[in-house]
Amino acid sequence: MSNSQYNPEIHHRHSIRLKGHDYAGGGVYFATICAHRNAGNIFAHPSVKEMIAKEWESAVATVGAGVGAGLVSAQEEGGHEARPYAIMPDHFHALIRMQAGEKSLGDVICAFKSRVVHAYIARVKAGEWPPFPGNIWHRNYFEMIVRDAEAEQKIAQYIRMNPWRCVTDFGSGLRGMGNPALWHAEKLGVLCSRNAPRLAGIPKASAYLSGFHSPMEQEIFQKLLEYKHPVIWCPAWGVRAGLVSALPPATLAALEDNRMLILEMTARDGDLASAEARNRFVLEQADRLWLPHVTPGGMLDRLVKELEIKNFE
């Protein structure tokens, strides 16, 4: 897939049915359902994600299948139960526990895919969503029989981590890795000059946006991570899936819990020019501004005056 790499040991894409297995006899399954190749990233928009989540939960409820909290959209925390699901731009992952009975895994997935198609068409007819080319879903799906609790835990972790590993294109050359829904939240821009006095407190916000470069900004960053607040971080380096191995535990935990979005800046040289570009980006993109300390005559003071910013906390 284009948005995340599949693990061949997990997905077993060479076989979608186990010969002789009773799919109506109950058990736990890891299912992956892909969008049709012509549909592109049809599930990327938050409203589409919400619809898919609703239809999945409805589909499994009608047949008594077990489903844990899912990653409905990146705005919600969750997905830490044994049977999570994740909605990616062009595919869907879920762990599902089937009860023995008349319905099979195929029945559940068929009902889910049908519900999504009907719901999407209804929104297209209402003029809310654009038409889709041809088919929404790939004609089949991939599943793995989960044979023990250890495997179930491992796959659940994979599903939880899948969304934030995806590098999202926000347009105009802006890319990010982590929770893309934070970009649509009310953003409190956080900037503070060097040699700031002691921090008195942190205002409440839906998401905190900053490069977190100056000593005081770094202190604020650590407190935000400690208090588990949502953070949009604009560091002086590019985003890529492999960078997670170099992140500190607290930062990695924020990504895993969907509390962080890391944005890739155009200027990434780590010099004063890139720092100024990063601060300008924060000032221009934030819905509110919190500037605990602005040194007269400094870079931040100059930018505030240049952009004619009058109101900040």
User: What tens digit of pLDDT does each residue of 8-26 get?
Assistant: 344 444 345 556 666 666 7
DSSP per-residue string spanning 116-149: HHHHHHHHHHTTSS---SS-SB-SS-EEEEE-SH
CA dist., res. 270 & res. 75, Å (int): 31
Strand partners, 169: 175
Q: Judge whether 83 and 67 are in contact, CB under 8 Å.
A: yes
User: Cα–Cα distances in Å, from 145 out to 7, 97, 108, 117?
Assistant: 15, 10, 15, 26
Residue that terminates a domain, selected from 163, 188, 207:
163
Q: Is residue 313 part of a domain?
A: no
Report pLDDT for 18. 57
How many domains does the chain fold into?
Answer: 2
User: What tens digit of pLDDT does each residue of 35-76 get?
Assistant: 998 888 899 888 999 999 999 988 888 666 555 444 333 323
Residue that terminates a domain, selected from 134, 163, 192:
163
Which of 114-123, 180-189, 201-210, 276-285 has the lowest average pLDDT?
180-189
User: What tens digit of pLDDT does each residue of 266-287 get?
Assistant: 877 878 898 999 999 999 999 9
Residue that terminates a domain, selected from 163, 182, 203:
163
Q: Which domain holds residue 255?
A: 169-306
Chain-centre distance of CA 107, in angstroms?
Answer: 29
Report pLDDT for 102. 67
Residue at token pair 């170099």: 246
Report pLDDT for 267. 79
Report pLDDT for 25. 65
Q: What is the CATH number of the domain that holds 182?
A: 3.40.50.450
Q: What is the CATH number of the domain that holds 154?
A: 3.30.70.1290
